[in-house]
Amino acid sequence: MPSLFQQIQAGALWDFHGGVHPPVRKTQTSSKPIANLPLPDRLYLPVRQHIGVAGQLSITTGERVLKGQALTFADNSMVVPVHAPTSGTIIAITEHTSPHPSALPETVIVLEPDGADEWRPRQPLNIVSCDNQTILERIQDNGIAGMGGAGFPTHLKAGMSQPVDYLIINAVECEPYISADDALMQEAPTTIVKGIDILCKLLNPKAVLIGIEDDKPIAIAALKAACSQREHYYVREVPVKYPSGGEKQLIQLLTNKEVPAGRRPADIGIVMQNVGTAFAVAQAVLDDHPLISRIVTVTGETLVHPQNVHALIGTPVAALLDFCGFQAEQRQKVIMGGPMMGFTLPDLSVPVVKTTNCILAPTATELPDAGPELDCIRCSSCADACPATLLPQQLLWYSKAKDHDKLQEYNLADCIECGACAYVCPSEIPLVQYYRIAKADIREQQREALKAEQAKARFEARNARLEAEKQARLARNQQLAAAREQAQQQSGATNAVADALTRIKTKQAEHAAEKTREQILAEREQKKQQARDYQAQKAASAKQDEPTQGALSADDSSATKNAAVAAAIARAKAKKEQAALTADTATTNASDTEQPGNSEAIDPRQAAVAAAIARAKAKKEQAALTTDTATTNASDTEQPGNNEAIDPRQAAVAAAIARAKARKATAKLEGEE
């Protein structure tokens, strides 16, 4: 029995379960040369184009940047910076539709090219003489992230400390239509191999396996020729089958190993990189050329010239499509990525990012929409097609039932969302969609469970704290009482006082027992009001004192503050009362005489309704009363020239409220939309 390594050396290939054979339709682009796109008017560079966190901005609006200049910088290892694809001016740092299925806005840097295409100074590295750390830093600083799909930072994968047996270069490109990697391999096989050399230097694997689907004869020949000098590089032709380019599937195809659930390939001594990434690594290390452009397949039958193009990162999709002669249909679908795993774009201003390998604009007859979803007939075609050997029909059932425990039991987490199941399903059930939702639900539930745990801990901690405080207070009170008693006894006072106290207490208790909840609330409200009146009066008197007392600055400021507080109270209450008034009037008119009149106008009606004795109403009424007094007080005090002192603050508040209102309004609008 030869060892695995010997088998691999001998050229053995394995197979993975399932898979489908959708029509590939690659020839319309793969045989043409790669075109160069004219410079677009604007480049939109999302600050985060990889898995991880966004870098810190290192430029400001209005700054001129050079081609290849870093726009963000990395302050930890999870950051991959982005670079200016050409020289020009940063005209904005703003929110823009993201290249994500949700199309939610995210931060982008908008660059206006100046056409000079002026490079920053570059320092090519000599890889023979420098150590791995320098190379890794170079890879990170030049913004290299996986170009195959997910965009995992390359320096993390290449800087793995675990020993690596096999480095697999993924050149399979199994999705229909896409031929970007194919074109790259035809055009630059030697650079790719140089990139692989660098990765080998970093990882030191036993062998390099390059997996290519066997429908790309020219690319295979080119790579084989380029690898001919390297002993342990093996170019492997894998049969055409979707999704053989999936990480786990390719590993199984080439090495017959399975990545254990929940682990990473590195745990079984395998690292996989995309060919595009290998190319980018070579450029970054050898030429100090950061990742600022990539090859994108622009295809579909609505295009007059489907082809592969060199596109700068940040180029809006519209520019690509227009370049290729886009003739949109009614209700056109524009897909970023391939037909199996890509997502549709809501508009064409979405930019090309590091992971964009294809823009697909098919006609409605080319990729027809799924028909109406019918009932699952349990035909198991999906299970036969699933590369992860799941049972999609059972997962569907449990997803619909929202039975998350069962979903986990049936290993929903191992679904790679390849879409093979939905592709074959005769009932046209959007299976993947169900799984995505179920997965998101499960994630959310886990998050929530974690949060509940934290909340509980905090709640308990708080209770414990309150309890401790109470005990401490009790102890102190007892101490004090004891001390007082001693003092009283010493001073000869009799128990008469204590008797009186207990009498009062019992009376109070009786009284309290009689009171209903409403009364208590009303009382509390009254007290609140009194307190506010008092505060307002204090503020007023403080101000009235002001002119006579002269200008003691400390007094002045505290008076101002008090007035502001009173005004704030008044304003807030007024706002509650007068929902119809706009934010502006609610704040600036707080001192208007119009207000009391207004609330009086409301009062009778309220009184009539109050016959229904709603507690809430009563409270409101009281609030209105408070407003009355408070506003008059406030207006009294605000008149004598203090306005200027308060104004900025008022303005700020007004602005804040206006903002909140605007936000609410927009939220509402959005909701309606």
Report 447-466 residues binding other proteins (CB under 8 A): 448, 451-456, 458-459, 461-462
**Interaction of residue 147 with ligand SF4, rule CB under 6 A:** no
Binds 665: which of other proteins, ligand SF4, none (CB < 5-8 Å by kind):
none
Q: Is 223 exposed, middle or buried (CB count within 10 Å of its CB: 0-12, 13-18, 19+)? A: buried
Smaller CB distance to ligand SF4: residue 380 or 585?
380
Angle at CA 363, nearest 5°, toward 358 and 367? 75
**Interface residues for other proteins in 102-141 (CB under 8 A)?**
102, 104, 106
227 is in an annotated binding site: no
Is the Cα torsion angle 565, 569, 571, 572 positive or negative in sign? positive
Is the CB of 218 or the CB of 440 nearer to other proteins? 440
Does 174 belong to an annotated binding site?
no
Among 150, 225, 374, 498, interactor with other proteins by CB under 8 A? 374
Q: Which residues pair with 295 in a beta bridge?
A: 310
CB of 485 or CB of 523, closer to other proteins: 523
The residue (of 109 and 376) whose beta carbon lies closer to other proteins is 376
- Nearer of residues 373 and 556 to other proteins, judged by Cβ: 373
Question: Is residue 130 a known part of a binding site?
Answer: no
Kindly state whether residue 525 participates in binding other proteins, applying the rule CB under 8 A: no
Site for ligand SF4 in 424-443 (CB under 6 A): 424-427, 429, 431-432
- The single residue among 116, 370, 379, 440 that binds ligand SF4, judged by CB under 6 A, is 379
Instruction: Kindly tell me the sign of the dihedral angle through the C-alpha atoms of 181, 183, 188, 193.
Output: positive
Residue nearer to ligand SF4 on the CB measure, 9 or 380: 380
Show the site string, 400-439: x = touches other proteins by CB under 8 A, - = not.
--x------xxx--x--x-x--xxxxxxx-x-xxx-xx--
**Rounded CA separation 164/104 (Å):** 38
| Residue 330 CB coordination number (10 Å) | 5
Specify the amino acid at residue 621. Answer: E
- Residue 396 near ligand SF4 by CB under 6 A: yes
Whether residue 243 has a cis bond before it, omega within 30° of 0: yes
Residue 392 interacting entry, from ligand SF4, other proteins, none, C-beta within 5 to 8 Å by type:
ligand SF4
Of 65, 180, 309, 653, which lies in the binding site for other proteins, with binding defined by CB under 8 A? 653
Measured on CA atoms in the order 376, 379, 380, 381, is the torsion positive or negative? negative
Q: Is 312 in the site for ligand SF4 (CB under 6 A)?
A: no
CB of 536 to other proteins, least distance (A): 13
Closer to ligand SF4 by Cβ: residue 207 or 418: 418
Helix then strand then coil, % of the chain, to nearest 5: 50, 15, 35
Encoded tokens for 658: 């206006």
The full length of the chain comes to 673
The correct pick among 34, 352, 390, 540 for binding ligand SF4 (CB under 6 A) is 390
- H or E segment to which residue 264 belongs: none
Does 337 sit near other proteins (CB under 8 A)? Answer: yes
419 binds ligand SF4 (CB under 6 A): yes
Candidate residues 378, 402, 476, 524; the one interacting with ligand SF4 per rule CB under 6 A: 378
Token pair of 515 as six digits: 């009171």
Q: Do residues 238 and 211 touch, judged by C-beta distance below 8 A? A: yes
598 in Cβ contact with 669 (< 8 Å): no
Distances (CA, A) of 617 to 237, 247, 522, 609, 612: 79, 64, 11, 8, 9
Nearer to ligand SF4, 18 or 88 (CB): 18
Does 95 bind other proteins (CB under 8 A)? Our answer is: no
Q: Least Å distance between CB 571 and ligand SF4?
A: 13
151 lies in the site for other proteins, by CB under 8 A: no
527 contributes a contact to other proteins by CB under 8 A? no
Q: Does 380 bind ligand SF4 (CB under 6 A)?
A: yes
For ligand SF4, the binding residue among 385, 569, 586, 634 (CB under 6 A) is 385
Does 252 interact with other proteins (rule: CB under 8 A)? yes
DSSP designation for 101: T
Exposure b/e, 430-458, CB count within 10 A at least 16 = b? ebbebbeebbeebeeeeeeeeeeeeeeee
DSSP for 158-207?
HT--S--SEEEEEE---STT--HHHHHHHH-HHHHHHHHHHHHHHH--SE
Q: Which is nearer to other proteins, 142 or 626 (CB)?
A: 626
Q: What amino acid is encoded at 236 in this protein?
A: R
The least CB distance from residue 426 to other proteins, in Å, is: 4
Decide if residue 135 touches ligand SF4 (CB under 6 A): no
How close are the terminal C-alpha atoms of the chain, in Å? Answer: 66
Could you tell me where the DSSP H helices lie in 260-316?
A: 275-287
335 binds, among other proteins, ligand SF4, none (CB under 5 to 8 A by kind): other proteins
Q: Establish whether 358 is an annotated binding residue.
A: no
Indicate which single residue of 144, 172, 266, 418 sits in contact with ligand SF4 (rule: CB under 6 A). 418
Binding-site string for other proteins from residue 548 to residue 587, where x marks contact by CB under 8 A and - marks none: -----------------x--xx--xx-xx-----------
CB-count burial class (<10 Å; 0-12, 13-18, 19+) for 328: exposed
Using an 8 Å Cβ cutoff, are 320 and 311 in contact? yes
388 contacts ligand SF4 (rule: CB under 6 A): yes
Nearest to 340 by CA among 433, 435, 419, 415: 419
State how far the alpha carbon of 247 is from the alpha carbons of 16, 243, 455, 607, in Å: 12, 9, 39, 72
User: Is 324 annotated as ligand-binding?
Assistant: no
* 325, 300 Cβ separation under 8 angstroms: no
Minimum CB distance to other proteins, residue 432 (Å): 7
Contacts with ligand SF4 by CB under 6 A lie at: 376-382, 385-388, 390, 392-393, 396, 415-421, 424-427, 429, 431-432
Residues belonging to the binding site for [4Fe-4S] cluster are 376, 379, 382, 386, 415, 418, 421, 425
Residues belonging to the binding site are 376, 379, 382, 386, 415, 418, 421, 425
